A and B are shown apart, each in its own frame.
Chain A
Amino acid sequence: MNPIAEMIFRSWQADYEALAILLSVAVIYTRGWRRLRRRRPREFGVARLASFLSGSAAILLAIASPLDAFAGLLLTAHMIQHLLLLMVAPPLLLYGAPYLPILRGLPARVLKHGVGPFLASPGLQRFGRKLTHPLVCWLAFTITSLTWHTPGFYELALRSPFWHGVEHLCFLGAAMLFWWPVIQPWPSRAQWPRWAMIPYLFLADFQNTALAAFLIFYDRVIYPSYAAAPRLLNLSPLDDQAAAGAVMWVPGSVAYLIPIGLLTVRALGSRRQAVRPSSRRVELPVIQTRGASTSFPDGRPEGWDLLSIPIIGGALGRPRFRRVVQSAMFALALVVIADGLFGHQMGSMNLAGTLPWIHWRGLVVISLLAAGNFFCMACPFTMARDFGRRWLPARWHWPKRLRSKLLATVLLAVYLWAYEAFSLWDSPWWTAWIVIGYFVASFVIDGLFKGASFCKYVCPIGQFNFAQSLVSPLEVKVRNADVCRACATYDCIRGADTRRGCELGLFQPKKSGNLDCTFCLDCVQACPHQNVGIIGVTPGSQITHDRYRSALGRLSQRTDVAALVLLLVFGAFVNAAGMIGPVASLERALQQRMGLESLLPVTSALFVLALIVAPLLLVALCGVVWRALCGGAIRLRELACRFALTLTPLGFSMWVAHLSYHFLTGAAAVIPVAQRVAGDLGGSLLDQPNWAGAAALLPLDWLPSLQILLLDGGLLLTLYASWRVARLFSTRAGRALGLFAPWAGLAVLLYASGVWIVFQPMEMRGLAPRMQACPMSGRTPGMRH
């Protein structure tokens, strides 16, 4: 093939956004079509599916093929693109009778609670009926077509990709409306007699012909962009314009004439049926949705069970699996300690400066977001616990006064402060000592005290994971509650033979949510009925209720849990803000103004303000606003405990946006560091370290959108959870709104600060001398931490 022609045919554009939408709609349609076909095979034949998918393919052809690539250079290509969107894709999509399959393809809960109220609304039904009135449809199509072909609008679309997209959306929307009364997709009802569609199409063809004739016979180039564009096919702009007119005229008219012919034949063949619009309601099949039961007939929960997935489930269920993963993590921890103590003392060139702060943190939040608390499952520090018990008595109970989250909350606050104040990420030596301290603490505490006291009451990392895993999509829970009711041995908590029960005191039948669950799977292995699994749950669903939870009680009574959650939520924003330029400048300005030699007092004061004073004040303010808005007899403590939990998704989204950014941009930095370590040990790993060559895992262009999307998700889940909690407090919508408003305001404030942080230039103090300022969003290439 001619290389030029080959290049032209290879000019497909990967319009991933459109592809994603088309793919999602096709999946939903196919799912719904399969369900409906079981009951109504005649109405939902294979032709419907083929037609709908062909329509989707026509859209893809229009917007992703070389037609789009050359639309700015050749009017003819642009016209073919428009014909696909106006004349080909819409009839094919509508012939697929997409209305019911798409609805049935949606998850039952979305259909029932999300879309259902809209569809049942009489006002929207009236609007839909008016919108699909043939007169409205014809006018919408004609006006859209004429408007976008006027030079001003056409040039706008050629200049701006955004307006080009709007133009295509308008064409597609108007064409869907235009073809609706012609195709009359099942089971909609015609508003005009079928024969009326013949003049309807003729009139549309008339305006199409008029426009096409204008393009062909006009003696000047109508759209100046084409006059300036390079002539690829040695076709003059005027010839190109005439060719585009011909495309519009001939294939365009054929697209009208075929249905006119078909309608005429049908009208002549069955005149009596065609003369009057049907006034009879079409009774559709009864479509069963799953009832309120949460279990399958064999007792399985509705959510999917990770342990039932082949290979992965089998491996996770084995006790040795955890030991193997822990051993690997233990070995990594030893390497980090060794390099941190004896290796190069620059954070970005040391394993202790990269593995814990870039990889481990990033992977922890990503796994919490995508699955669950799998770091605690693989925690190497609990291996020290097991060793500790061999040499130490482990016979005392953890002191009653310390049986809360307060100690862990204080330790977490100290850690967050130390991280900011001493730039821990840039100190391999300190990092190594923190890891050593962790091993010693778990060894001593769990060697002296019964149960998993270290995990439950002391470990700051564990508390972080427990709280964030409230938003995780997986939970260790019973598969069938009936089996537990019949159980008399309670092995899941007591243990059996050599199998341990839950050392954190979580009794599976009463357990709710992931709080305090380390995913150790001791309960899975101890249960003689194999009734415990890793079950898929709706993320955040455990935040809203206030049922009694095993080993935790009611969270509305747990001020310590609320304090922990607030610390983590505000900590997410403070931790991210600590690395941006404006905050660093503020600290330096304050330092100079106070005449201080060190930044430490300023950092500490700001830290106390942002992490302790601000949350307390804001929570109190929410209480004051709530009382002013609706008063009431609810105790502020209870209210704060309930609503503080609802902020978890937002805080978590900020942690993910921040830490995954470091991971996605800096993960490859471990390669030169490993090469440096190998070099220090006298060996060689592939080559000499290339400190500047480590690439980001994702294109940097993706990161701002990804980060904002994460914050969007966090805000929405927080708002939804707050609304649900407010509705639990009051069934009256107005009163619930009064309860919800201050907390929603706080969430929006945090979201806005998160977005602001994302777009600020980054300036890590520890790395300041050798790192150029660049936005946290990664808009400037080459940023590494």
Chain B
Amino acid sequence: MTAMKNNRSKLIGRYWRHSLLFASLLLALYSRSQADGGGVALHQVAGPYVVTVFIAPATPRAGPVDVSVLARDRADGRAAIDVEVFVRLRREGGIAVVGHATRGVTQNELFYSVLMNLPEAGQWELEVTIKRGKSEASVFGQLSVAAPRPFLLSYWRSLSLPWVVVTLFAMNQWLKGRAASRGEKRLTTHPTKLRCETPIDLSLCDSAQEGKK
């Protein structure tokens, strides 16, 4: 009965560990806007504000672009955290992308951020409007948007994963084969005793010694 209980607790423990690791994997997939990454695209004074606009990536490309805005009071330099921020990007041809920047999605809580999807490369006009009550102030600038990044580059980490694993597996098989050919198979297939000398010196020895003890 006790053995059954132990087994059950082992199984439940394993279940939780696996769940935790699975949750970790899901977390690893999650990504969100940088909110303050990239470089300064604009730094201007407008009305009662000093407005700094950050763009991530620093060299914007067609596709998702993170626009973060820091508005500070001109008088005392304190960050304005009770305003509304609107971002407008307009292409010369007439396409316009408008976004409402908020602090809800930002890493840096002093910043207002919005993820904007720029459909094409080229020169874009950037307009940021700060509203507090009925008063509003706007800053204007230019944004040079490069061609979109090839998807192979955008997802290089996910795409390279199989080849990393395959390389490690090939090394593993090669080392196993070499160990077997040197008559060291006994050591590699019975990792029941660990002996350490150096940081990665973990010789794996037979468990026969424990039987003798």
Contact = CB atoms under 8 A, between A and B. Distances in A.
A284 B193 contact: yes
B32 A282 contact: no
Interface stretch (B128-136, B137-145, B155-163): B155-163
Contacts of A147: none
Contact of B77 (A225, A228, A234, A699): A234
Interface in B89-108: 103, 106-108
A120 B39 CA distance: 47
Contacts of B79: 4, 7, 232
Contacts of B165: 716
Contact of B175 (A12, A121, A712, A781): A121
Interface string B31-73: 1101011111001000000101000111000011000001010
Contacts of B175: 117-118, 120-121
B172 A118 contact: yes
Nearest to B192: A289
A672 B201 CA distance: 62
A3 interface: yes
Contact of A117 (B17, B21, B25, B179): B179
A23 B198 contact: no
B4 A298 contact: yes
Contacts of B176: 117
A13 B162 CA distance: 29
B209 A8 contact: no
Nearest to A191: B198
A486 interface: no
B81 A4 contact: yes
Interface in B113-128: 117
A20 B193 contact: no
Given A118-B175, A287-B193, A4 B78 contact: yes
A441 interface: no
Contacts of A702: 29-31
Given A7-B81, A129-B201, A705 B31 contact: yes
A132 B50 contact: no
B43 to A, nearest CB: 7
Contacts of B147: none
A476 interface: no
Contacts of A578: none
A103 interface: yes
Interface in A174-228: 180, 185, 187-189, 225, 228
Interface in A244-301: 281-289, 296-298, 300
Contact of A231 (B30, B38, B77, B117): B77
A287 to B, nearest CB: 6
Contacts of B24: 19-21, 23-24, 27
B37 A118 contact: no
A132 B199 contact: yes
B172 A114 contact: yes
A545 B205 CA distance: 30
B83 interface: no
**Dominant SS at the B interface?**
mixed
A128 B155 contact: no
B7 A300 contact: yes
Given A11-B108, A117-B175, A708-B155, A27 B21 contact: yes
Determine which residue in B34, B36, B194, B209 has the highest number of CB atoms from chain A within 10 A of its CB, and name it.
B194
A685 interface: no
Nearest to B119: A780
Contact of B188 (A73, A120, A282): A120
Nearest to A6: B109
Contacts of B20: 23, 27
Contacts of A185: 199
A100 interface: yes
Contacts of B204: 116, 119-120
Contacts of B151: 704, 759
Nearest to A189: B197
A159 to B, nearest CB: 4
A720 B165 CA distance: 10
Contact of B210 (A112, A131, A286): A286
Nearest to A128: B200
Contacts of A111: 191
Contacts of A232: 72, 77, 79, 110
Contact of B37 (A161, A704, A705, A716): A161
21 contacts: A4-B79, A7-B81, A68-B107, A69-B36, A72-B36, A124-B200, A128-B200, A128-B201, A132-B199, A187-B196, A188-B198, A225-B39, A281-B197, A282-B195, A284-B196, A285-B194, A304-B14, A699-B30, A719-B162, A719-B166, A779-B64
Given A161-B57, A286-B210, 4 more contacts: A103-B202, A118-B175, A283-B195, A286-B213
Interface of B: 3-4, 7-8, 11-12, 14-15, 17, 20-21, 23-32, 34, 36-40, 43, 50, 52, 56-58, 63-64, 70, 72, 77-79, 81, 103, 106-110, 117, 151, 155, 158-159, 161-162, 165-166, 169, 171-173, 175-179, 184, 187-189, 191-204, 207, 209-210, 213
